[in-house]
Amino acid sequence: MATATTTISEQEFRELVLSDEDRFWELWDGVPVEKPPMSIQHNGVSFYLGATVANQLDKRVYRVTVQGDRARVAPRSFFIPDVMVIPAAYQEPLEPLDLGIYADPLPFVAEVWSPSTGRYDITAKLPRYRERGDLEIWYVNPYERTATVWRKQADGSYTEDVYTGGIVPVRSLPGVAIDLDDLFAW
């Protein structure tokens, strides 16, 4: 992981990302950090999960990105989820060439386990998504063949369920379900 040594502003971060489109930059407390390259399996599972969700949504209402846009988890911290669903209304005030950074809670975010980022995802990213108030957070581990799912409740707390196969509904997106057996077969 490439890490800068000095902190930068949000505007400087936006300029860095837009001028260096071949690298995936996150911002950790004002410090730019490059997301490392991922394995074939990680990328395949992420893409399959994102495509499966996208194919079940009305594209006029939701957008899906795979390792693309960023979730603002603090004023100077932006993470790139492996998969995220963005209400189209969040993008309406943006220009087409703007950098997608979203502060409002998202209906769905997912991280897929990778040897290079697995520990960081569990200790840093997943708790921050809950702090943001994201409605449904998935942590998919294709090696263990598990999907841990946190769902936000009306009182602001989260339930946690672990799935090892079968068809799992994405409750934050009515009508959307993921066939984990297909996902893990990737």
| Domain residue extents for the chain | 38-71+79-184
pLDDT digits (tens, 9 = 90+) for 16-69: 888 887 888 889 899 998 888 888 899 999 999 999 999 999 999 999 999 989
Name the range with the highest mean pLDDT among 11-15, 30-34, 154-158.
154-158
Percent of the chain with pLDDT over 90: 65
Sequence letter at residue 27: L
Burial call 97-121: b when 16+ CB within 10 Å, e when fewer: eebbbbeeebbbbbbbbbeebbebb
| 76, burial (CB in 10 Å: exposed 0-12, middle 13-18, buried 19+) | middle
Q: What class has domain 38-71+79-184? A: alpha beta
Reported pTM = 0.91
Q: Which residues contact 132 (CB under 8 A, 6 or more apart)?
A: 71, 72, 73, 103, 105, 106
pLDDT digits (tens, 9 = 90+) for 169-182: 999 999 999 999 99
